[in-house]
Amino acid sequence: MMGVQGEVAAGFEPVLAPLIIGLPLAGAVVLLIFGKRIGRLSGVLACGTIGLAAVAGLLNFIALLGAPEESRSTTQHLFDFISVGRFQTGVDLLLDPLSLVMVMVVTGVGTLIHVYSIGYMHGDPRYPRFFAYLNLFASFMLLLVLADNLLLLYVGWEGVGLCSYLLIGFWFDRPSAAAAAKKAFLVNRIGDFAFLIGMFVLFGAIGSLTIGQINEAAGALSAGVATTAALLLFAGATGKSAQIPLYVWLPDAMEGPTPVSALIHAATMVTAGVYMVARFSPVFEASGGTALTVVGVIGAATALWAALMACTEYDIKRVLAYSTISQLGYMFLALGVGAYSIAVFHLVTHAFFKGLLFLGAGAVMHALDGNTDMRHMGGLRRPMPIVGYTFMAGWLAITGVIPFAGFWSKDAILAAAWVEGNYVLWGVGVFTTLLTAFYMSRLYLRVFEGPLRTPEGTHAHDAPLTMAIALVPLGVLSVAGGVINLPGLLTLEHFLEPVVGESLAPEGALAFILSGIALVVAVAGIMLARSIYMASGAEARRARFVRPMAPLVNGARHKFYVDEIYGRLIVLPGKRFALFCADVLDRRGIDGIVNGTATLIGRTSQGLRHIQTGYVRNYAATFLLGVVAVFSFLILRVVAG
Amino acid sequence: MTEVAPGYYLALAGLMFSIGVIGALVRRNAIVIFMFIELMLNAVNLMFVTFSRIRGSVDGQILVFFVLVVAAAEAVVGLAIILVIVRRRSSANVDDVSLLRW
Amino acid sequence: MIALIIFGAVFVFALGCSIAMLFAKNAVHTALFLVGSQVALAVAFLLQGAHFVAAVQIIIYAGAIMVLFLFVVMLLGVDRSEVLVEPLPAQRQLALALGALLAAGITYIALTSVDLIGADRTQDLAAINRNPGNVLAVARTLFSRYLLGFEATSVLLVAAIVGVMVLARRVDSVTALGAEAPSSEEREVA
Amino acid sequence: MNDLPFLDLTLFLPLVGALVMVLIPKRWEALLRLAALVVTTATFVASLGVLASFESGTPGFQQVTELSWIPEWGIGYITGVDGVSLWMIMLTTFLMPLCILTSWTIKTQVKPYFILLLTLETGMLGVFSSLDMFLFYVFWEAVLVPMYFLIGMWGHGRRVYAAMKFFLFTLAGSLFMLLSILYLYFASQGSAAAPTFDYRSLVGTPLALEVQILLFLGFFASFAVKVPLVPLHTWLPDAHTEAPTAGSVMLAAVLLKMGAYGLIRFGIAFFPDAARLLAPAIIALAIVGILYGALIAIVQHDVKRLVAYSSVAHLGFVVLGLFVGTIQGMSGGILQMLNHGLSTGALFLLVGALYDRRHTREISEFGGLARSVPVLAGIFLIVVLSSLGLPGLNGFAGEFLVLLATYQSYGWWVIPATFGIVLAAIYLLWAYQRVFHGAVSIEANRNLEDFRMREYVMFVPLVALIVAIGVYPKPFLERIEPSAKQIVRQLNDASVIPETRGLAEAP
């Protein structure tokens, strides 16, 4: 039992690590309490805290890089958390390559989105509150990735869920926003329910919740226990990372302000599930394939399913939401084939380009008074070039066109699936690539290309400075983000190896063939979209194209009725049952017994009081009855001897 | 003079007592009911006297005095109550006095 | 033998009077039958050697108390004939059945009483009656062993007298006491 | 620090205060309110003395006062505190000033109201600190009377029905307890010793298993009604709903805890064998309670009733923790008692604040309040989150420990229990959404006054505690743990059955 509380295992010296979490948290608390007085400066304050946290994260990152490879992991004990008897947990931070990569993504993208929000939320009456929530989210997310034990991770896990709830429902006046917020929290709670039980199983089997000890002892677990624990944890991940069957909250979550969608529902929070699975990869490995197969299949299925729905959606934010679900599916696919580092790689690049896409969509909405329907848009690249070109970078990145960031990571995932021998998953992945290219091109082409079209009464203008400041760096990263995993350099994969192990990669010509296929498919998707949306005669072609698949298109347009099915199958019977309990069982049943007893006694007394006739002779007769009874008894006793 | 066995006296007393009981239950005139109660007391007196004889001491006869006194006091108070009732309701029927009921 | 005859006469007369009480419609007649049965009982007392008690029975019971009864009957003018229809259901049947049961029980016990109580010590009483004499013996016992009870009866009598005086005051003096009398009147009417 | 008898001071300050208040003319309402506030605050300060003198790390009773009362019958005045009762006492004294503050809006019969509240406080504190069964029973019943009047006189609509129901339920239960206490009393008569009501001597009284089960059920009847366990809970929604705010707070925060406290203190300690034997059944009831209370809470349309049913669910967690038989469960259960007191107490206070503004408790009468009363909405959200067990707030620490312990001892039983937290999120957030979110649909909701100074004073300490326990539960847990450990050992190992005693104590 090494790694007792307080002791720092052999490792590098962390630099002000608590500040990474503490700064945004302090910012949030200050803004929550004094937000009204701080007013306009709230945005600056929030950006400052997260920016400084980013700097602190960077310092630690540099310190880590400076350390020799075997000591690139360290824990820092802050104070005791819930500890009773044998169960001991602390607020401990774990700094290792994986957590610091996540810290860099969260603080980096987070800072950009904070800056973007200054412009985007400008003029909102609850401006300080928004930044308070955003800061609070950042601190919980950082807690999640830095947590040294599962319990603390869970604290962050639920904390980001809370912030997601608060931010989705930020415009709570809109009933749809309030409902979406609640839905997000509840669906997540269902996942968390499984996650919590998974935590119990792990503690029951291992006797500790520390990440290090769990991963160390995971190999010794029986396959059954490991599978149970892994699947329960994964069930938690399906909630947070919006996988089948718990993905339904994410499209609705687009009711929140767009920076929120970018930060929480694209770049960071939803990837927490991926991070968690990667973190506990030994547990998943220990199940002997079952758990990982489930992860991979669910991931691939989600990727395909969400992509199908994205193809028919008209709301630009919702398209991006489905695309996020789909991309998360890719990441789980990668996890499922054991390519953990590649999953994290895709997580990072996805954070870049999806953050960018959302921010771009936000800029479009900002320019068009909040309109999100792509049928009313067109040719916007000319009036808003910064947005247009950065969006284009994001589009090419997600479709997987070489050399944009998405190409490298997506290609690596597909390659890993192939090498693992999982050709079905590979096939699904490739087909999804086609769909991805198609729906993203459909989005991009309809909004930014072609003749200029704006909704009535709006006038498109380019993004203001603060928003542009965020868009440009993300655009650059979307173009060049793939460089962090370019073969030959200090690659991300290699960097993460001490934590999550090696990912399989194809050798020789196979690598190029696989990449080529992926690229060709992506380009085919783009061409398809172009041919039925942009090129001359698109309308007619589109009609011809859609007709054979009418049921499918129709189904996708209605989100395959999943919400309705959940409503009918789970929500409605649940509510009926609750009503039955409340009105029938509780009121008539249990309380009925109680009140019934009282009524029975009352009625009996009502009846019995008629004995009280008031006639003294009746009483006398009764009295005599008693006398005779007692007397007879005595006589009988005498007679009987 | 004393050949008759005491049991017969007791039997007589018992029969009179029972008649007194029946009368007290059956009659409705309050004064008549009182008379039957007196009859019961008399029967009891006879028993006391008989017991006095069986035991060969006068203690039983003493008790007759006490019964007598109680009977007198009871008769006096009871009759006074009846008097008041009759003044108010001009009836000595006990069935008329049945207010204290459900 | 004579005693047996006398006892038979007493038995028949006393029971006859008692049963007649049950059927007499007029209160005055009932009272008279009661007097009859009391006289018969006095004879039974005499037969058993309770001379003093027999005298008291005649004087106080048949005399004073029964006069009081008759006096009240006359005073209230309730000597009208009673209606013999029984308004209470099952009251009469119940009373008869229970009374019969009671009578049977007591009779059974009475006729086997000697076995229960033990020796019949009539002779001892006869001896006492001879010496020192019934009255003297009663007086000695009453004023020695039962003195406390005797004194208590005097308290009882005083209490009864006071009670009767309060009860029997005229209604107008009751109303003079306070305003609550009419209200209680109303309550009765209601 | 044992110079002053802080515990007894705490215990009797409210009563003395109440007696003094009797002398104040009833027209001087402001003075009466102020006096009540001063007395309860002083009581809280005195109880801080108890907390300061409390030595963590020792399982037994501390700060024991022992006076003889009716020595002929072995009745004494014995008070003391240990890790189980410490936080209950603190909770009571902490919430009482808040209850006084929230009662500022009481306008009728001010004098008897505050006097009853103070009497109630002494009664509740007495329950938690008595170490003599007779004294305990006196306090236990003494709590009933003020609460009966508080509900019956200052309550809402069906107050008389609710008060009567509350009274009858509780009384019916406690009669069984009285019988059990008396049996124990006579059973304690050893060969040399006279019978006694002293709790410390009664623990470990040798009893046959059948007797234990009967006596345990006698105590259980009383405590299960108070807790309440399904299906003995139906008094609770009525009483909570109809009571005035302060009454609801005290009912939920403290009176329910008296039941749970009794289960630990008496049920388990006196009859470990029976408790061990019956634990699965009680746990099943607790789990049913968790789900049942939550399900019913979902469809309530009266805010107060909803919170009341949520209490049923939360107390299910408490009982679950107490009987799973591990130290995590016991500690978690005890901590959860404190947590539920704070969270649900705060919820009732907030519902009271809403009621003061709108004079209704119907959820459909609200809507969009976050716009008109943002601070109230914010505080409400924090409390709701604490109640649904969000990590980082107090509710989580207790629930987590309880569920962890349930898994360790009872394996998959934990699934339905854990599902309770999903249901909790459903009913609380749905209600929150309907009350505070959405557009303002009813005109009366548009211009409501947000928190006043008095309300800030009430809620800031509450929220601070809610967060403090959630973030750093150690100071709380480390005071609970030694006592919890001892009780768990009693539950698991100790046996008071005469024949098996030697066996059980052997290693």
**Alpha-carbon gap: C102 to the closest alpha carbon of chain A (Å):** 6
**What tens digit of pLDDT does each residue of D74-122 get?**
899 999 999 999 999 999 999 999 999 999 988 888 999 999 999 999 9
* Mean pLDDT (chain D, rounded): 90
Please say whether the beta carbons of D392 and D326 come within 8 A. Answer: no
Q: Please report which confidence band the pLDDT of residue A611 belongs to, taking 50, 70 and 90 as the band edges.
A: confident
Please say whether the beta carbons of D248 and D348 come within 8 A. Answer: yes
Q: Which of D153, D149, D158, D309 is nearest to D236 (CA)?
A: D309
Q: How many CA atoms lie within 13 A of D59 on its CB side?
A: 13
* Distance from chain centroid for Cα D96: 13
Q: Which residues of A touch D368 (CB under 8 A)?
A: 172-173
The chain A residue lying nearest B26, using CA atoms, is A617
Q: Which amino acid is at C170?
A: R
Q: Which of D138, B74, B49 is nearest to C125 (CA)?
A: B49
pLDDT at position A487 is 67
**What tens digit of pLDDT does each residue of D52-78 get?**
999 888 888 988 999 989 888 889 999
**What tens digit of pLDDT does each residue of A458-488 get?**
777 888 888 888 899 999 999 888 888 776 6
Number of domains in chain D: 1
Rounded distance between C-alpha atoms, residue D495 and residue D209, angstroms: 10
Question: Mind giving me the DSSP string for chain B?
Answer: ---S-HHHHHHHHHHHHHHHHHHHHH--BHHHHHHHHHHHHHHHHHHHHHHHHHHTSSHHHHHHHHHHHHHHHHHHHHHHHHHHHHHHHS--BGGG---S--
Interchain pair A201, D385: CB under 8 A: no
Q: Which amino acid is at D278?
A: L
Residue D369: is it exposed, middle or buried by C-beta count within 10 angstroms (0-12/13-18/19+)?
buried
Quick check: is D497 in a domain? no
Phi, psi of C168 (to 5 degrees): -90, 5
**What tens digit of pLDDT does each residue of A88-119 get?**
899 999 998 899 999 999 999 999 999 999 98
How far is CA C116 from each of CA A412, A452, A630, C109, D303, rounded to the nearest angstrom?
A: 116, 128, 19, 9, 79
Question: Mind giving me the DSSP string for D447-494?
Answer: S-----HHHHHHHHHHHHHHHHHHH--HHHHHHHHHHHHHHHHHHHT-
Q: Which of A140, A142, A173 is nearest to A56 (CA)?
A: A142
Which structural domain, as residue segments, surrounds residue D274? 6-492
In A, residues 143-202, which contact D (CB 8 Å cutoff)? 151, 154-155, 157-159, 162, 165, 169, 172-175, 177-179, 181-182, 185-186, 189-190, 192-193, 196-197, 199-201
The chain B residue lying nearest A618, using CA atoms, is B25
Rounded distance between C-alpha atoms, residue A24 and residue A224, angstroms: 41
Q: Which run of H or of E encompasses A263?
A: none
pLDDT at position C172 is 58
Interchain pair B95, A610: CB under 8 A: no
Per-residue pLDDT of chain C (190 residues; tens, 9 = 90+): 788 899 999 999 999 999 999 888 888 889 999 999 999 999 999 988 889 999 998 998 888 888 888 888 888 776 566 666 777 788 888 899 999 999 998 888 888 866 666 667 788 888 888 888 889 999 999 999 999 999 999 999 999 999 998 887 775 544 544 444 444 444 444 3
Max CA distance (Å), chain B? 57
Q: Which of B4, B41, B49, B3 is nearest to B21 (CA)?
A: B41
Choose between A165 and D206: higher pLDDT.
A165
* Distance from chain centroid for Cα D469: 17
Q: What percent of chain D has pLDDT over 70?
A: 97
Q: Please report which confidence band the pLDDT of residue B102 belongs to, taking 50, 70 and 90 as the band edges.
A: low
Q: Which amino acid is at A607?
A: G
pLDDT at position A490 is 62
**What tens digit of pLDDT does each residue of B38-57 get?**
999 999 999 999 988 888 88
* C147/A contact by beta carbon, under 8 A: no
**Alpha-carbon gap: B44 to the closest alpha carbon of chain C (Å):** 11
Could you give the dihedral angle defined by the CA atoms of residues D135, D141, D143 and D148, in that order, rounded to the nearest 10 degrees?
-170
pLDDT at position C118 is 64
Please say whether the beta carbons of C116 and C109 come within 8 A. Answer: yes
In D, residues 386-445, which contact A (CB 8 Å cutoff)? 390-392, 396-397, 400-401, 403-404, 407-408, 414-415, 418-419, 421-422, 425-426, 429-430, 433, 436-439
Phi, psi of A67 (to 5 degrees): -85, 155
Rounded distance between C-alpha atoms, residue D332 and residue D476, angstroms: 11
C108 → closest Cβ in A621, A625, A635: A635
Quick check: is D263 in a domain? yes
Q: Which run of H or of E encompasses A104?
A: helix A97-120
Interchain pair A631, C105: CB under 8 A: yes
Please say whether the beta carbons of D398 and D317 come within 8 A. Answer: yes
Q: What is the mean pLDDT of residues D376-389?
A: 94
- pLDDT surpasses 70 at D347: yes
With b for 16 or more beta-carbon neighbours within 10 A and e for fewer, the C132-144 pattern comes to: eebeebbeebbee
* C117/A contact by beta carbon, under 8 A: no
Interchain pair A81, D473: CB under 8 A: yes
Q: Please report which confidence band the pLDDT of residue D505 belongs to, taking 50, 70 and 90 as the band edges.
A: very low
Kindly state the DSSP code that residue D413 receives in the 8-state scheme: G
**Alpha-carbon gap: C118 to the closest alpha carbon of chain A (Å):** 15
pLDDT at position C79 is 57
Listed in sequence order, the DSSP H helices in chain C are: 2-23, 27-47, 51-56, 66-76, 91-111, 113-117, 122-128, 134-144, 147-167, 171-177, 180-189
In D, residues 227-256, which contact A (CB 8 Å cutoff)? 230-231, 233-234
pLDDT at position B14 is 93
**Alpha-carbon gap: B101 to the closest alpha carbon of chain C (Å):** 13
Q: How many CB pairs under 8 A join A and C?
A: 30
Quick check: is D505 in a domain? no
Report residue B84 as tokens.
């008041």
Q: Which residues contact D48 (CB under 8 A, 6 or more apart)?
A: none
* Mean pLDDT (chain A, rounded): 88
Neighbours of chain B (3+ CB pairs under 8 A): A, C
C88 → closest Cβ in A615, A631, A635: A615
How far is CA D146 from each of CA A207, D142, D152, D194, D248, rounded to the nearest angstrom?
A: 48, 8, 10, 35, 13
Give which of A84, A240, A586 to mutate to test D binding, by max D Cβ within 10 Å.
Answer: A84
Q: Which of A533, A552, A556 is nearest to A543 (CA)?
A: A533
How far is CA A162 from each of CA A168, A390, D390, D459, rounded to the nearest angstrom?
A: 10, 31, 8, 21
Q: Which residues contact A43 (CB under 8 A, 6 or more apart)?
A: A114, A117, A118, A121, A127, A131
Q: Which residues contact B7 (CB under 8 A, 6 or more apart)?
A: C110, C111, C112, C113, C114
pLDDT at position A67 is 84
Please say whether the beta carbons of B100 and C187 come within 8 A. Answer: no
What chain C holds in terms of domains, given with CATH numbers, is 1-78 (1.20.120.1200), 80-190 (no CATH)
Q: Which residues contact D296 (CB under 8 A, 6 or more apart)?
A: A578, A581, A582, A586, D309, D312
Rounded distance between C-alpha atoms, residue D133 and residue D266, angstroms: 10
Please say whether the beta carbons of A27 and A50 come within 8 A. Answer: yes
- pLDDT surpasses 60 at D501: no
Q: Please report which confidence band the pLDDT of residue D193 belongs to, taking 50, 70 and 90 as the band edges.
A: confident
Rounded distance between C-alpha atoms, residue A298 and residue A333, angstroms: 8
Interchain pair B7, C49: CB under 8 A: no
C138 → closest Cβ in B9, B11, B58: B58
Report residue D484 as tokens.
């919890």
How far is CA A276 from each of CA A116, A154, A185, A344, B78, rounded to the nearest angstrom?
A: 28, 10, 19, 11, 98
pLDDT at position C181 is 43
Give which of B34, B44, B85, B102 to mutate to test A binding, by max A Cβ within 10 Å.
Answer: B102
ipTM, two decimals: 0.76
3-class secondary structure, D205: coil
Q: Which residues of D touch A199 (CB under 8 A)?
A: 404
Q: What is the mean pLDDT of residues A175-188?
A: 92
Residue C167: is it exposed, middle or buried by C-beta count within 10 angstroms (0-12/13-18/19+)?
middle
| Residue showing tokens 């839905």 | A183
The chain A residue lying nearest B95, using CA atoms, is A615
Interchain pair B39, C21: CB under 8 A: yes
- pLDDT surpasses 80 at D502: no
Q: Which residues of A touch C101 (CB under 8 A)?
A: 628, 632
Rounded distance between C-alpha atoms, residue C156 and residue D224, angstroms: 57
- D near B: at least 3 beta-carbon pairs less than 8 Å apart: no
3-class secondary structure, A89: strand
Rounded distance between C-alpha atoms, residue A344 and residue A350, angstroms: 10
Please say whether the beta carbons of A598 and D234 come within 8 A. Answer: no
Q: Please report which confidence band the pLDDT of residue D450 belongs to, taking 50, 70 and 90 as the band edges.
A: confident
Q: Which run of H or of E encompasses A210?
A: none
Q: Which residues of B touch C60 (CB under 8 A)?
A: 68, 72
Quick check: is D502 in a domain? no
Please say whether the beta carbons of D290 and D317 come within 8 A. Answer: yes
3-class secondary structure, D212: helix
B19 → closest Cβ in C19, C49, C146: C19
Question: Mind giving me the DSSP string for D258-309?
Answer: HHHHHIIIIIIHH-HHHHHHHHHHHHHHHHHHHHHHHHHHHT--BHHHHHHH
SS3 sequence of D22-46:
HCCCCCCHHHHHHHHHHHHHHHHHH
Interchain pair C128, B57: CB under 8 A: yes
Q: What is the mean pLDDT of residues A172-201?
A: 92
Rounded distance between C-alpha atoms, residue D276 and residue C113, angstroms: 64
Interchain pair B46, C41: CB under 8 A: yes
Q: Which residues of B touch A616 (CB under 8 A)?
A: 94, 97-98
A170 CB neighbour count, 10 Å cutoff: 22
Q: Let me know the angle formed at the C-alpha of D159 by D39 and D220, rounded to the nearest 5 degrees.
A: 75
Q: Which amino acid is at A58?
A: L
- C near D: at least 3 beta-carbon pairs less than 8 Å apart: no
Quick check: is D304 in a domain? yes
Q: How many CA atoms lie within 13 A of D334 on its CB side?
A: 33
* A236/D contact by beta carbon, under 8 A: no
Quick check: is D506 in a domain? no
